[in-house]
Amino acid sequence: MSTYDQFAFIYDSLMSDIPYDKYAEWVQGKAPVSENKRLVDIGCGTGVLSVKFAKAGYEVIGIDLSESMLTVAQNRSLEENVNISFLCQSMAEIDGINDADIAVIAIDSINYLETLEETEQTFARVYDCLNDGGQLFFDIHSLFKMDNIFPEGPFTYEDDQVAYIWHTEQGEEAHSIYHDITFFVRGESGYYERFEESHYQRSHPLEIYFDLLQMSGFSNVSVSTSIFGEQSEDEVERYFIHAIK
């Protein structure tokens, strides 16, 4: 299976510590639904944020590269009785979306872009999707996290249904990391199925993201570190970036 295909079905339990509500509050605080209706959730994964935005009254389009993730997202939207359109596309090749008021690229999804060219292309495609005055919200791993926290692996996790061993190795490019994760998922029989996933992430200095955003036409670029709670100034793990077309 391709990246995330098996992972999609256990993703939610492993992401249960992510404060999605705070992310939604950040977006809604700056782009209230009364003034901004159409929202594109890029890298929407299993649709947790997409559903939250739809329930808040936004007209939501969810985009992800994994069909399996989108299957979970579609099922979630049906269970929650909200109407969301889902598209299987790469964020660097978004096509066919116009007149959006808001674009969201949440939970370090943009760090899966392997090159600066892909990042620049993503910003340009998002810019084209947005109305004048449209707003972009995204977050990135800090260089501190890429260079100091991730290399401290392996990390482990275990609950009644899932366990994993997560090995990390620094990549050849600056501020990049390879994630090699072995999962053990308990089936209905009580036996565990083993499968493996490998992922690559890369981050860049904030100034580079600012430059790429401005090259794409965005303005009023701002950054926050406190959306998920206060972070030590010297040990920031995640930056939250907001820009306006």
What are the tens digits of pLDDT across the range 25-42? Answer: 999 999 999 999 999 999
pLDDT of residue 108: 97
Least confident of 2-16, 82-96, 147-161: 2-16
The candidate with the shortest Cα–Cα distance to 131, out of 104, 95, 101, is 101
pLDDT of residue 197: 85
- For residues 25 and 2, what is the distance between their CA atoms, to the nearest angstrom? 33
pLDDT grade for 2, boundaries at 50, 70 and 90: very low
pLDDT grade for 112, boundaries at 50, 70 and 90: very high
CB 111 within 8 A of CB 141: yes
Is pLDDT above 50 for 225? yes
Is pLDDT above 50 for 154? yes
What length does the chain have? 245
pLDDT of residue 7: 67
Top pLDDT among 172 and 190 is at 172
Is pLDDT above 50 for 1? no
What type of residue is 213?
L
- For residues 182 and 192, what is the distance between their CA atoms, to the nearest angstrom? 12
pTM beyond 0.85, yes or no:
yes
Q: What is the mean pLDDT of the chain?
A: 93
Over range 5-14, report the average pLDDT. Answer: 68
Domains and CATH numbers, the chain: 7-141+205-244 (3.40.50.150), 145-201 (2.20.25.110)
